[in-house]
Amino acid sequence: MEIFKYMETYDYEQMVICQDKQSGLKAIICIHDTTLGPALGGTRMWTYDSEDAAIEDALRLARGMTYKNAAAGLNLGGGKTVIIGDPKKDKNEEMFRAFGRYIQGLNGRYITAEDVGTTVEDMDLIYQETPFVTGVSPAFGSSGNPSPVTAYGVYRGMKAAAMEAFGTDTLEGKVIAVQGVGHVAYTLCKHLHEEGASLIVTDINKEAVQRAVEDFGAKAVDIDDIYSVDCDIFAPCALGAIINDDTISKIKAKVIAGAANNQLKETRHGDALHEMGIVYAPDYVINAGGVINVADELNGYNRERALKKVETIYDNIASVIEISKRDNIPTYLAADRLAEERIERMRKSRSQFLLNERHILSSRTR
């Protein structure tokens, strides 16, 4: 790929290629935008088909974190790391210690965290070399398992979407179809059950489904049937790209709000939801509870403070819906606009500050 052309097109700031022969480290750190603050984004370890594929993934993910952090109201920019390798057999202490030294060399421009293929234990090793890492063990001041906080954010965002669709944000009596009942979704189901919602669930893990049935009185359906059930709200909490040509016509819900990443297979499917009058809560806005939670570690973790910030996901989804109506655009585009407008306001503010500083300096030298 033409790296500089791609970076120029989407206005990336920096890419760092990291290699350590002894440990086998091959990593790409990508910093997209630091207008709002240092770049925060996790480290992914994956067996990529090629180096180009790894670079492209790092670029794509870093830009996504800029939007996610901005829309969440965090004073953080977007970045991401990918490590090329098999997370099941290629890891070693030296690798993550070496990687930590590369992060330290960026002097706080980039802060990392867990992602696909990396663990708390890996973050602990990075922490031995640099303080610019979140998601470490609670013994080092971490926030611990982020799943419950992510779930709480999705719950809050779902209520905001319900307000738009039904004129009330109460979920009592609403029928909610939850696709996937993993760690985040189970806690989400708990919130929904406690508010009095009726649940329909599915998952490839039959034990997870049975647990939801027993704990929350949920109704279980087959994996392929979750799209067409009669429900008020559809909550995708498993795989991405589940809003696609095959599923979109089956959906009967008035709201789509769930924890899964990249729910739209293509942007045109977001356009279709808008035309159908379905209120779609963009995934990177509604599932930002996890990143909000780890970001609080940078100030010395305080769970009460973190949860209060996560509660604002309600307001963020409401803002996305307001922009969607204001500009007559689908909510997935409105989410981007929310993030871009915040970044642009800060960019203009900083530019004005620099102009004022130069004016003062010029006046003193006359």
- Taking the C-alpha atoms of 249, 253, 258 and 260 in order, what is their torsion angle to the nearest 10 degrees? -10
Query: Annotated binding residue at 184?
Result: yes
- How big is the chain, counted in residues? 366
Candidate list 5, 21, 68, 80, residue with the active-site label: 80
Active site residue 80: yes
Query: Annotated binding residue at 183?
Result: yes
Cα–Cα distance between 251 and 358 in angstroms, integer? 57
Kindly report the CA angle at 53 between 47 and 56, in degrees rounded to 5?
125
Query: Annotated binding residue at 310?
Result: no
Answer yes or no: are the C-beta atoms of 28 and 46 closer than 8 Å. no
Answer yes or no: are the C-beta atoms of 63 and 10 closer than 8 Å. yes
Cα–Cα distance between 361 and 329 in angstroms, integer? 45
Query: Annotated binding residue at 180?
Result: yes
Give pairs for 161-164: CB < 8 Å, separation 24+.
161/233, 161/255, 161/256, 161/257, 161/279, 161/280, 161/281, 161/286, 161/317, 161/321, 162/232, 162/233, 162/255, 162/257, 163/318, 164/279, 164/318, 164/321
- Taking the alpha carbons at both ends of the chain, their separation in whole angstroms is 50
| Amino acid letter for position 130 | T
Kindly report the CA angle at 218 between 215 and 219, in degrees rounded to 5?
145
Kindly report the CA angle at 17 between 11 and 21, in degrees rounded to 5?
175
Binding residues for NAD(+): 180-185
Binding residues: 180-185
Active site (catalytic) residues: 80
